[in-house]
Structure formats: structure tokens, C-alpha cells
A and B are shown apart, each in its own frame.
Chain A
Amino acid sequence: MEYTPRELMVVCAARQIRDGERVFVGMRLPLLAFALAKRTHAPHCVGIFETGLIRDTPARELLYTMGDAPNICGALWATSTISVIGLMAAGEIELGFIGGAEIDRYGNLNTSLIGDWRQPRVRLPGSGGGADIASLAQRLAIIMPHERHRLRERVDFVTSPGYGYPDEHGPAGVAWRQRVGLPRGGPAVLITTLAVFTFDPTTGEALLQSYHPGSSIEQVQEQTGWPLRLAPDCAETVPPTPEELRVIRECDPHGVWTS
């Protein structure tokens, strides 16, 4: 069965959601990933949205933004942004999704600016809730297009902290997060248009976990700005099942987010 790269990304994202988990759902593809997980392997997961919403059913219609009316109909709780991010600050949210313009080998994400932060060459929209999700969720899933200028050795500005950098006080990874005062979390997975990366918590480095069908390790390396390290069981990404594609297309019949 034919599918688009974004449909495969939605499937990879949905597979990160375990049944019963509380998931901080981001814009665009994560909205579909949450709906897909709910309707397949994770019927008991709960979605939390930064506008101030909690729901345990997917919205009945395609969402363009989290604040769209169908997302409020049938919600479990419609409250404030502070209340829901506060739950995440208290450690109660297992998984958070974000995207970014740039990422580096340690999973640090930039959504703020390109160039010198005092006089940026390109001004991007900024953090939104991204920095909060990266700081406070127990696990972080990152979704973004795979292009060499986006997957860089080092990002220009850290909007959303991943595993930091090695410095005179110690290595990157979980140790870095603890040094700067982030009590938990860090990137668990990076899902791109070409591949899926996991992270080595000790060094904080991205590991190529799988390359999508039609791609290869060489092609992924060509589009990645750091020398790849492979996960021991690196293999081809498992393609979507017909059932997964059926659900995605039911949720996004005109391919607004997936074409």
C-alpha cells in the first residue's frame, strides 16, 4: 500500500504512545498521532493540550489548531494553560511531542532564530510551549523534516533543551540535564521524513534506530550534519499497516497534514 512520508511519521509517532499514558499533544502531526494511537493500540491514553484541555477521546473532526471547537466538545476538562503545563511541571505527563526548525546530535532544538541571537538573520516564531514540554515531560518525542541544514552539529539557539552539551563539569545526556536542574525527561525519539533516531542517555547522542523504506543509512548520513552513530539493532522502519493508514485517512481525508 502506498503512503506518504508524513503518514509514516504519524505512524512512528503514534507507536511512541503507550496505552494508558498521559500525552502532551503538539500541533499538526502529533494531533493525528494521538488520534491514531487512541483508535489502535492505546485506547486508554489521555491527551493534554496547551490551550488548557484534557480529553480521552480523539476529536471528531480534523483539527487545524488545538483551540478548534471540535477539540473542546467532549473534553474531560477545559481549563487554563497554567493548569495543564503545571501538571507537566509536577511530573504527571509521560510523553510530550514537539517539532523544531533545527536540532543537533544531542537533541537540543531551536525554534527561535537562525544566526546570532542578538541580531538574528532569520527570526522564527519562538518557543510557544515547546521549551516547557522539553523541560518538563518525562519523555520527549520530536518530529521534523529531515534536511541537512536542519540536523546540525550544533544549533544556533537552544529553545527546547535536549541533552545539552559536554562541558568542563561533565558529559551531555542525563547528567547534563541533572546539572542544569531539569529533574527528568529528555528526548526519547526523533522522527524525521527519512529516519527514526533514539538517544543514548549516557552520552546524550542521537542513534540511528531505523531508516524509512526507500531511504538508506547512506542517504540519512548525507542529510545529517553530524557523523551518524547506529543503534545496535538499526534496521528499516516498519511500514504502516493498512489499518493504520485507514485510520489516518479517516482523520485527515484531504491530506491537510499528511500529503
Chain B
Amino acid sequence: MSKLLSMTEAIRRYVHDGASIALGLALEPCIPFAAGHEIIRQGRRNLTLIGPISDILFDQLIGAGCVAKIQAAWVGNVSEGLGHCYRRATEQAQPRPIVTEDHSNFSIGLALRAASLGAPFIPTRSLLGSDLPRKNPTFLQTTSPFDGSPLLLVPALQPDLTILHVQRSDEDGNAHLWGSLGICQEAMLAARQVIIVAEEIVAREVIISDPNRVIGPSYKVCAVVHEPWGAHPSAVQGYYDRDHQFYHEYHTRTRTPEGFQQWLEEWVLGLSTRQEYLAKLGEARRGTLTVKEHRYAAPVDYGY
């Protein structure tokens, strides 16, 4: 059964006010910016954002007033440093106050992995002795029942929705993702529902010809959106590179609330679709980011 929807429709149906949403899960690449921008345009509120290091999409959603709570390891602009909207929200409650439950990359991954296993928590020794357990009251410090050694229990975290940007998917949401995976698989398996945003929609035969590359079961997928360049300015391996300049411009322009508002008008609110965004970005700029030298993997024989 085809789950293909436009981005507008997918966000309208499956992103609700107050939802917890995991996104930006491959760390720097494959960030679903197109989905995030549509969430901003549709004016969703009181969202909880879940992620590892989160590049500027978290900052944009915070600045646009969509977010009430952050459960993440890092919020900022990876190649530039601080996220100005995140700072304004946490330091001055602008445009609204947000709650942060600080994680590390490992603990947020373990929290999602626990949910994916139906386990109530996963113990680790990471973060012991740091102040993070104090700042994140969901963690529990205890001792091992086996040998009495100190342990940190990371409770399971189940997102209402995980949004994944992938290279290719069929219409049912059987999706291939490659490159470094970050915590994409943990977040997909943990979530109640998943939106897949794909650079390409391909036949089911293409996907099942290489089942090891599938990121998770399509029965969790509620919508598939075909959105080429939907991860710009982040990279999608085999499709386009990271647009470092875009991150730099965002960093410079969003130092003030007025600057952020202008940026948001120009790149999100003033555009109704991703096609308009891409037209604004221009073919020349896209040309500098597209893959110049293809590197195909050797074919794999699943024969018997």
C-alpha cells in the first residue's frame, strides 16, 4: 500500500501539538530540514525534540517557537559553534521558555535503544561523576546488583514520531540509508510512528535486492515523502555535500531575534514548498554541492 504523501499533508496528519519528535539522528548528515520547515510553517507548538548532536534545525524550530522541551546531547551549529536561538530560549525564555534534559550522544542512543528493546532502562558507566545526572532528573544513579559497582540507569525513551531523511525508499517506506548511521536505527525502532523523507522513490525490488541496507521495518512507517534536496544544507551521501557556507550565514544572521526573524521569513515562512526553496537556492549553488565523482559499492550476491 502506498504511503506517499506531500510534505504538507504528512506533517498535517502526523505531527501534532505536544508531540515528541526525534530528528537529526545521523548527526551532521541527512537532517530532515524540509520536514522541519514545514512544521514551522504549520505553526506546531509545545513539541519535544529528541536527538544526539543537533545541527541548526533544532535551533530553527526553537527560534520559531515550536518547542517546549529538548532531550538532546548538544544543540548548536556544528561548524560554527553556539546556536543563538537555543541560547535566547534557555537564557531569556525567548521566544518562549524551554525545558532541557541534557544527554550525551551515548545516553540518548541508549535511551532509544532501550525503548526499541522494550527494556525499561539500560545501565552504563558513562557520565558517572559528571553533573549531567543532576541536570537530567530522568537518570538514576545506583549500584550494580551483581558486584555493587556504581551505575547510571538510562530510562527508555519512546518518541511519538521519528523523522528520517534517507537516500531512497519505496512507496511503503522500505528505506535504504547509508553512510554513518548515528542513532537513526535506534530512533526508528523506538518510535511509535516514522515519517520517511527520501531523495528518491524506487521500486520495492530495488530495496529488497539489498535487505542489509534497510534501516528498519516499514510497518512502523506512517508516511513516505519524496523530497529531493530535502536535507539541504546537510549532506546526503551519494547525492550532495554539506553546504558549509549556509551554516555560516545562518550563524551570522541569527545573532539577534530580528535577524533570525528575517532569516526565517526569507528561507521558511516566505516559501510555501521545498520547490520554492530550491528555486531560491539556485541551480548554480546546487551544482557546487552535487556529487562530482561517483563511488559505487561492489555488487552483493544474495544468491543461493
A1 proximal to B (CB < 8 A): no
B128 touching A182, Cβ below 8 Å: yes
Q: Chain A contacts of B91 at CB under 8 A?
A: 120-123
B244 touching A132, Cβ below 8 Å: no
- Residue positions of B touching A, CB distance < 8 A: 26-29, 52-53, 72-76, 78-79, 81-83, 86-87, 90-91, 102-107, 109-110, 113, 124-132, 134-135, 149-151, 178-186, 235, 237, 241-242, 244, 295
B129 touching A181, Cβ below 8 Å: yes
A247 proximal to B (CB < 8 A): no
B75 touching A161, Cβ below 8 Å: no
Q: Which of A69, A72, A79, A129 is in CB contact (< 8 Å) with B104?
A: A129
15 contacts across the A-B interface (CB closer than 8 A): A51-B182, A52-B180, A68-B242, A80-B184, A80-B185, A85-B126, A86-B106, A117-B131, A117-B135, A125-B76, A128-B52, A128-B74, A134-B130, A136-B125, A181-B129
- Residue positions of A touching B, CB distance < 8 A: 27, 49-53, 64-69, 71-73, 75, 78-82, 85-86, 89, 112, 117, 120-132, 134-136, 157-161, 164, 176-177, 180-183
B130 touching A50, Cβ below 8 Å: no
B179 and chain A: residue at smallest CB distance: A72
Smallest CB-CB A-B distances: 7 pairs: A181-B150, A67-B28, A125-B76, A180-B129, A161-B129, A51-B180, A128-B74
CB distance from A181 to the nearest CB of B (A): 3
CB distance from A127 to the nearest CB of B (A): 4
CB distance from B6 to the nearest CB of A (A): 28
Q: Chain B contacts of A177 at CB under 8 A?
A: 129
A180 and chain B: residue at smallest CB distance: B129
B242 touching A136, Cβ below 8 Å: no
Other than A69-B241, A79-B180, A182-B129, give 12 A-B pairs with Cβ distance below 8 A: A65-B27, A67-B235, A69-B179, A80-B182, A81-B109, A117-B134, A120-B90, A126-B76, A130-B104, A131-B126, A159-B131, A181-B128
- Known interface pairs A49-B180, A120-B91. Does A125 touch B82 (Cβ–Cβ under 8 Å)? yes
Q: Chain B contacts of A67 at CB under 8 A?
A: 26-29, 179-180, 182, 235, 242
B81 and chain A: residue at smallest CB distance: A125
CB distance from B96 to the nearest CB of A (A): 15
B108 and chain A: residue at smallest CB distance: A81
- Known interface pairs A27-B78, A129-B73. Does A135 touch B126 (Cβ–Cβ under 8 Å)? yes
- Known interface pairs A52-B180, A81-B109, A82-B109. Does A123 touch B87 (Cβ–Cβ under 8 Å)? yes
- Known interface pairs A78-B181, A79-B180, A160-B130. Does A132 touch B105 (Cβ–Cβ under 8 Å)? yes
B80 and chain A: residue at smallest CB distance: A64
